[in-house]
């Protein structure tokens, strides 16, 4: 009985030692992974803090270029699928035509076999037989050529399918790389959000001030032009009044008919010139007002477009911030789960160590009793 008890105790000690070693190895691996995660997080934070101002535009251009390549690749895939569908439709048409020809040939054979009694059983001469043979051989050659073309098209379609599959794999790999880059650069966008908000506030203030200054300049210029035109109009009215007075005086005085005709013609020409000048000035004023209105509209459109673009950037930044918060939550949950698992394993190790100590004590007591 004593050797059996000793054997059982030895087996139990071996099992407890193996479990303790296994759990200890698991703990070391988990601790090594946690240290690696911490080191990676520290390096990412350091790189983000040191290179925010330098890497914002580069990361944005990189992501934009990769998305452009993906959109181009998707467009190429769509074009290739369309070509594939067109080729399949052509092949289906050819197969339908072949089936129709087979049906017609069968119908002809059936009709000839049904009317063998009506057809004379005269033997064809050699010339007719040779001509028929040539026609049949030509038809067979055309059929074989068409079949070869169909086979070549099928081979091309298979090659296109392989290329599409390879291209799809590459695009999926690019998407995965973009996802990893986006996940790595999310912290950069959080800091960029604050800087862009400050820039937006500054830009909006500057644009409002410039818009007001341009409007005031345009209004002042228009007022000065209107004042000049009114002054010219007043001068013309004064001149016309003077001319009318002179004309009345000349009529009051008995000038000769020739002088009156000459003065009338001069007065009419002068009035025409002044009228043309006033029309030209009024046209220039209308053109000035139209140009000012167009400039005002274009400036307002530009300002609205800039404001809309800034609003879009704000929306995109808010979306990125939401995704960043989600990733933070996920990372925190993963870290907490790993820590909980580590604590569980540590408790199991402590329990195993307690069991091992108890087994050692029992083994020592057994040795003591055996020695006695």
| pLDDT for the residue 147 | 73
* Alpha-carbon distances, residue 282 vs 207, 225, 227, 279 (angstroms): 33, 11, 12, 5
Cβ atoms within 10 Å of 9's Cβ, excluding its own: 16
| pLDDT for the residue 17 | 46
| pLDDT for the residue 121 | 47
Q: What percent of the chain has pLDDT over 90?
A: 0
Per-residue pLDDT band for 365 (boundaries 50, 70, 90) equals: low
Residues whose CB is less than 8 angstroms from the CB of residue 214 and which lie 6 or more positions away in sequence, other chains included: 295, 299
Q: Which two tokens stand for residue 154?
A: 């099928």
Q: What percent of the chain has pLDDT over 70?
A: 28
Least confident of 80-84, 348-352, 367-371: 367-371
Q: Which two tokens stand for residue 321?
A: 């911030």
C-beta of residue 13 within 8 angstroms of C-beta of residue 363: yes
pLDDT digits (tens, 9 = 90+) for 66-75: 666 666 766 7
3-state secondary structure of 115: coil
pLDDT digits (tens, 9 = 90+) for 288-303: 666 666 666 676 677 6
pLDDT digits (tens, 9 = 90+) for 301-345: 776 777 777 777 777 777 776 776 777 677 677 667 766 766 666
C-beta of residue 359 within 8 angstroms of C-beta of residue 16: yes
**Domain residue extents for the chain:** 57-110+135-176
0.95 cut: is pTM over it? Answer: no
Alpha-carbon span 217 to 211, nearest angstrom = 10
C-beta of residue 81 within 8 angstroms of C-beta of residue 164: yes
Return the exposure string of 231-270: e unless at least 16 CB atoms fall within 10 Å of the residue's CB, then b.
Answer: eeeeebeeeeeebeeeeeeeeeeeeeeeeeeebeeebeee
Q: What is the mean pLDDT of residues 125-141?
A: 74
Alpha-carbon span 13 to 7, nearest angstrom = 10
Pick 187 or 159 by higher pLDDT: 159
Alpha-helical (H) ranges within the chain are 2-50, 52-114, 126-184, 186-252, 257-371
C-beta of residue 157 within 8 angstroms of C-beta of residue 84: yes
- Mean residue pLDDT of the chain comes to 64
Q: What is the mean pLDDT of residues 74-82?
A: 72
């Amino acid at each position: 009985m004593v050797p059996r008890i000793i054997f059982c105790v030895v087996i139990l000690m071996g099992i407890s030692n193996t479990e303790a070693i296994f759990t200890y190895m698991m703990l070391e691996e988990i601790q090594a992974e946690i240290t690696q995660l911490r080191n990676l997080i520290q390096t990412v934070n350091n790189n983000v803090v040191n290179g925010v101002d330098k890497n914002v535009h580069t990361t944005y251009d990189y992501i934009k270029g990769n998305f452009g390549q993906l959109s181009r690749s998707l467009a190429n895939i769509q074009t290739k699928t369309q070509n594939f569908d067109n080729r399949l439709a052509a092949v289906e048409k050819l197969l339908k035509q072949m089936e129709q020809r087979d049906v017609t040939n069968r119908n002809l054979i059936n009709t000839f076999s049904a009317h063998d009694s009506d057809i004379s059983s005269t033997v064809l001469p050699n010339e007719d037989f040779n001509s028929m043979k040539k026609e049949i051989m030509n038809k067979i050659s055309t059929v074989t050529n068409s079949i070869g073309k169909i086979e070549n098209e099928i081979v091309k379609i298979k090659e296109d399918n392989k290329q599409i599959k390879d291209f799809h794999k590459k695009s999926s790999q690019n998407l995965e790389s973009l996802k990893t880059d986006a996940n790595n650069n999310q912290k950069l966008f959080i800091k960029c959000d604050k800087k862009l908000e400050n820039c937006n506030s500054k830009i909006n203030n500057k644009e409002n001030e410039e818009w007001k200054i341009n409007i005031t300049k345009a209004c002042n210029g228009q007022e000065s032009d209107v004042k000049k035109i009114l002054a010219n109009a007043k001068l013309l009215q004064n001149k016309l009044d003077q001319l009318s007075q002179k004309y009345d005086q000349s009529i009051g005085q008995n000038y000769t008919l020739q002088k009156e005709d000459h003065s009338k013609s001069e007065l009419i020409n002068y009035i025409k010139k002044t009228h043309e000048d006033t029309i030209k000035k009024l046209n220039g004023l209308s053109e000035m007002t139209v140009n000012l209105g167009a400039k005002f509209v274009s400036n307002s459109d530009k300002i609205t477009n800039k404001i809309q673009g800034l609003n879009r950037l704000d929306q995109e930044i808010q979306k990125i911030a939401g995704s960043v918060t989600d990733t933070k939550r996920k990372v925190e949950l993963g870290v907490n789960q790993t820590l909980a698992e580590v604590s569980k394993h540590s408790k199991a190790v402590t329990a195993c160590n307690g069991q091992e100590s108890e087994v050692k004590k029992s083994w020592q007591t057994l040795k003591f009793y055996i020695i006695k």
